[in-house]
Structure 1
Amino acid sequence: MKRVTTLAAVTTAAVLALSACGGEKQSGAAAPAPAPSEQKSLLASPLGDPIQLAALTRESTKKAKSSKVTMESVAGTQKQTATGQGMYDGENTKFSMSMDSDGKKLEVLFVDSALYFKLDASDKAEMKTDKSYVKISADGQDPISQMLGKMMSKAIKDSDPSRTLEQVSKAGKITKSDQVELNGELTNHYVVEIEVEKAIALIAGEVGVPFPADVQKQLDAKLKGKNVTIPTELWLNAEQLPVQVVSDQTAFMKAMGVPGDGVAKTTVKYTDWGSPVEVTAPPADQVGDLAEIMKKAGGR
């Protein structure tokens, strides 16, 4: 089913972007912005060891667990944008996101360990359903849920900076760090090189769902001996919370044989840390069973 597959692919990209750096900030009234000299004294020196940095951020991520987020993904001439809000709290993680992909609006909810896609009139016609949402969950019986459910659930639940940096320590390294001003705020800026082959193996191993043998064979053939990396930049504020994450997938896309010579890059920005997040699952009678819908639609 083309539409559901497209929805799943776009949402997976969004989830992975979100999991690149979730985190928390202390709640309460905002303090006046310090002068640049005061900012300098409040901002600790950047670290070169991702394990040490992960440990430093761990306590920060146990505080107020929410933010607003915007994402922009560019691949050649194609552009996707998204806005949303999320609470990053392990099993209680939830978020809502509105995406624009090739002029098509997509609305997604993640709550109670399941993803819900909102369907418009054309979606309902293609899927032959009158339901307003379809659901993808880790325990779903349809092929898409079985393929993506566990991976998406784990990516979302692991969405905090300390967890991300622990993964970076296994699949990459910090190659540069400095202090720069971003949007009027002094931040610690890190440049990270993530090794694609190690990252893929790490994700598959932790999720416990290996790629199908033919897919893994194709990945191995395309990546072998190329030492492909995904350069990633992170900006963290004085509270060790992400302000911006930029991931450049250009080399990876070219290695995979994706046509075109354009840049493939994702930028995620975080604001309003500690803001309230209200996300609830749709009423059960408005949610369609994806396996049944796929059968009716003939698996298109």
Structure 2
Amino acid sequence: MKRVTTLAAVATAAVLALSACGGEKQPGAAAPAPSEQKSLLSAPLGDPIQLAALTRESTKKAKSSKISMETVAGAEKNTVTGQGVYDGDNSKFSMTLDSEGKKVDVLWVDNAFFFKLGADDKAELKTDKAYVKIAADGQDPISQLLGKLMSKAVKESDPSRTLEQVSKAGKITKSDQVELNGELTNHYLIEIEVEKVIALIVGEVGVPFPADVQQKIDEKLKGKNVTIPTELWLNADQLPVQVVSDASAFVKAMGAPGDGVAKTTVKYTDWGSPVNITAPPADQVGDLTEIMKKAGGQ
């Protein structure tokens, strides 16, 4: 069942990346002049714990935004566009994943992922359904493998989570005030320690790596003090405008082939705008277990 496995892997990567997302100011009134902006923009903070708390409260108030993300891994470039609601168990996302020209529409709603199937997908999976579902409580092998991980990742995809991770696994090395896309922002340079953030994520997800995988990670990273340089831009409302993370050093340390470039840029727009995301009608959703049987487990 290569197609569903691939879709699930891509969606998981996208959702995990959303935990490092940022956003832009809500539309409406005309943008204030630079002098006005400066008076509204507080001085950058040096304490990541305080910064995380302020961003968490701002995100909780705004609650929704549109999404734009680009990941570069060597010569491969992937993009994600969509919209989301950050509300714990009630979080919802609607995304289009574009990987090497192949687009996949994905919904996260009602504690499950829904993948929209194209004509080729339907033919390969031998189904006439418009969607296939991967649920946190699903009984099929793929749902059991990825459902809970995806569920936890989505529920914790509030952009302020990045700052919480920084407070536990990194530090702010520099800050200043700069203009980005015509808006005055507080700009932070952050260094995140790879070994610490891996341990933090594994602990939060509650699913440890297999012993051999963890051993390989430990051996590759031992004594290298590998970090993930991250840039963060926050507006006057303490909402992220943009987040850029560069994992190239980590990828190279792990021995990945190619030039080792691994960079993610995430932007959000329209904070607080209405977002309407609903699950597809039940009669349009295929049962993954039955689809796997028909497809012969390919």
Q: Into which bin does the TM-score normalised by the smaller protein fall? A: over 0.9
Q: How does 1:270-289 map to 2 (within 5 A)?
A: 270-289=268-287
Q: How does 1:154-169 map to 2 (within 5 A)?
A: 154-169=152-167
Q: Percent identity?
A: 83
The answer (yes or no) to whether the contact 2:24–2:270 under 8 Å persists in 1 is no
The alpha-carbon distance between structure 1 residues 228 and 92, as it changes in their structure 2 partners (threshold 3 A), is same
The alpha-carbon distance between structure 1 residues 79 and 214, as it changes in their structure 2 partners (threshold 3 A), is same
Deviation at 1:192, TM superposition (A): 1.5
Distance 1:276 1:23 in 2: 15
The answer (yes or no) to whether the contact 1:172–1:193 under 8 Å persists in 2 is yes
TM-score normalised by the chain length of structure 2? 0.93
Which moved further from structure 2: 102-111 or 281-290?
A: 281-290
Q: What is the letter of the counterpart of residue 106 of structure 2?
A: V
Deviation at 1:123, TM superposition (A): 1.2
The alpha-carbon distance between structure 1 residues 6 and 59, as it changes in their structure 2 partners (threshold 3 A), is same
Distance 1:232 1:292 in 2: 43
Aligned to 2:93: 95
Deviation at 1:59, TM superposition (A): 2.5
Distance 2:179 2:225 in 1: 32
1:3 aligns with 2:3: yes
The answer (yes or no) to whether the contact 2:81–2:97 under 8 Å persists in 1 is yes
Q: How does 1:173-252 map to 2 (within 5 A)?
A: 173-252=171-250
Distance 2:10 2:53 in 1: 32
Distance 1:24 1:73 in 2: 19
Deviation at 1:48, TM superposition (A): 1.4
Q: What is the letter of the counterpart of residue 256 of structure 1?
A: M
The answer (yes or no) to whether the contact 2:20–2:243 under 8 Å persists in 1 is yes
The alpha-carbon distance between structure 1 residues 172 and 298, as it changes in their structure 2 partners (threshold 3 A), is farther
Distance 1:280 1:274 in 2: 18
Which moved further from structure 2: 249-258 or 114-123?
A: 249-258
Deviation at 1:13, TM superposition (A): 2.0
Q: What is the letter of the counterpart of residue 108 of structure 2?
A: F
Aligned to 1:30: 28
Alpha-carbon displacement from aligned partner over 1:238-271 (angstroms, at most 9, x marks no partner) = 0011111111121122222221015211111111
Q: How does 1:61-210 map to 2 (within 5 A)?
A: 61-210=59-208
Aligned to 1:12: 12
Distance 1:296 1:216 in 2: 36
The alpha-carbon distance between structure 1 residues 289 and 63, as it changes in their structure 2 partners (threshold 3 A), is same
Secondary structure of the corresponding residue to residue 59 of structure 1: helix
RMSD over aligned Cα atoms: 2.0
Alpha-carbon displacement from aligned partner over 1:20-65 (angstroms, at most 9, x marks no partner) = 136797x8x7222111111111111111111011122232222131
Secondary structure of the corresponding residue to residue 97 of structure 2: strand
Deviation at 1:216, TM superposition (A): 2.4
The answer (yes or no) to whether the contact 1:60–1:240 under 8 Å persists in 2 is yes
Alignment equivalent of 2:251, drawn from 245, 253, 273: 253
Which moved further from structure 2: 39-48 or 211-220?
A: 211-220
Distance 1:23 1:103 in 2: 25
The answer (yes or no) to whether the contact 2:251–2:260 under 8 Å persists in 1 is no
TM-score normalised by the chain length of structure 1? 0.92
Alpha-carbon displacement from aligned partner over 1:185-240 (angstroms, at most 9, x marks no partner) = 00111112122222222112112122233332332333233222221111110001
Secondary structure of the corresponding residue to residue 256 of structure 2: coil
Alpha-carbon displacement from aligned partner over 1:126-161 (angstroms, at most 9, x marks no partner) = 222222211122222233322322222222212224
Which moved further from structure 2: 100-109 or 205-214?
A: 205-214
- The runs of at least 4 consecutive aligned structure 1 residues that moved more than 3 Å come to 21-25
The answer (yes or no) to whether the contact 2:184–2:235 under 8 Å persists in 1 is yes
Deviation at 1:170, TM superposition (A): 1.2
Query: Could you list the runs of 5+ residues in structure 2 that have no partner in the other structure?
Result: none
Distance 2:226 2:19 in 1: 21
The alpha-carbon distance between structure 1 residues 144 and 224, as it changes in their structure 2 partners (threshold 3 A), is farther
